[in-house]
Amino acid sequence: MKMRAARMYDYREPLRLEEIPIPDFGPEEVLVKVGGAGMCRTDFQLMDGYFAASLPADFPITPGHEIAGWVAGVGSGVPRSAGLREGDQIVVESSWGEGSCRQCHDGNFQLCAGGRWAGFGPHGGYQEYLPVPYRHLIPVRSGNGLSPMNLAPLTDAGLTPYRGLKKLRAAGVLGPGRTVAVMGVGGLGSYATQYAKLLGGGATVVAFARTDSKLDIAAANGADHTINTRDKSVEGVRTALENSTGRPEVDAVIECAGSEESIRLAFALLATQGAVASVGLIGNRIDIPLFPFVAREFSYFGSFWGNYNDLTEVLDLAERGMIRHTVSPVRFEDVNDTIAALGRGDVVGRAVLVYD
């Protein structure tokens, strides 16, 4: 049997839309029928060579690390206790560690130096079926009417800022009388705004972006204030912030863009003993002044993706109807056009590849 697949054969080339055989799956794997594959700016970066030095390519690669769908086949070695049956609705936890390092033992497979990821090798969500180790599937039992199109983005766009907000909460910089900023309201930031309200303990939430359409999404997702930073100096942003909140500083930042400019702005707005959690990956370096970082006791957290338990918490929120979804379907034939739009920053919310 054949399936459709959009595959990458070299950097900075369009994906090839092909029909290839449905892959085999091993005894401890499950064959997943993809119902929705979130299209992330990381997919554009993968194709553009951003990860070439750290993740050497073995072409062809099928992108797509945000995956939700159904069980299409169960390997002979999958234990009955896993509770996975053909037809079950599932999401894929896409970070597959090799299992023996400290990070894997802690459950943080996404931090494993020897691990692998769906969408960064031969199999990803840009194909209709893929094999997945059964331990990295999460059944969606009640669903609350959630479709794969809504579920798929939760496995990265909805997961990554959640972990970052948990780090800010643990650092003690959220709560009543505090202000938390969401920098960048793209795929990740639209969820980060919601988590800032859900986990913020009463903190005021301010969203920063460069387009009004994205700020409209942030406002709909619970932001108390929004600020368009386009063509504004740091002092101009501080003035706008003070006009909105009564203070020119913030206590916490969930930084979802990952550009040098956005990170510098985050620290320029940070109050004494404030904290920044970076989850975005657009730039390649960080350049911030050292003296205020030390003298004002700033904290800076890198936060990469999320683990299995983080994802189960996100899914629980979704199943209880506590997460708003801003998604748009993409036809298989339109994959390359959407990748180009992601590279330009033109996608509002999350684009999701769906198969009819």
Tokens of 267: 């620290």
Q: What is the pLDDT of residue 347?
A: 87
Judge residue 328's burial from the number of C-beta atoms within 10 Å of its C-beta, 0-12 exposed, 13-18 middle, 19 or more buried.
middle
The CA angle 75-80-83, to the nearest 5 degrees, is 95
Residue 263's φ and ψ, nearest 5 degrees, are -70, -40
Each residue's pLDDT expressed in tens, for the chain with a length of 356 residues = 899 999 999 999 999 999 999 999 999 999 999 999 999 999 999 999 998 888 888 899 999 999 999 999 999 999 999 999 999 999 999 999 999 999 999 999 999 999 999 999 899 999 999 999 999 999 997 667 789 999 999 999 999 999 999 999 999 999 999 999 999 998 899 999 999 999 999 999 999 999 999 999 999 999 999 999 999 999 999 999 999 999 999 999 999 999 999 999 999 999 999 999 999 988 888 999 999 999 999 999 999 999 999 999 999 999 999 999 999 999 999 999 999 999 998 888 899 999 97
Q: What is the pLDDT of residue 345?
A: 85
Closest CA to 207 of 198, 219, 195, 197: 219
Q: Collapsing DSSP states into helix, strand and coil, what is residue 5?
A: strand
Q: What is the pLDDT of residue 12?
A: 95
Secondary element (H or E) of residue 73: strand 66-74
Q: What is the pLDDT of residue 143?
A: 62
Q: Collapsing DSSP states into helix, strand and coil, what is residue 335?
A: helix
Give me the domains of the chain, ranges plus CATH numbers.
2-156+306-354 (3.90.180.10), 160-302 (3.40.50.720)
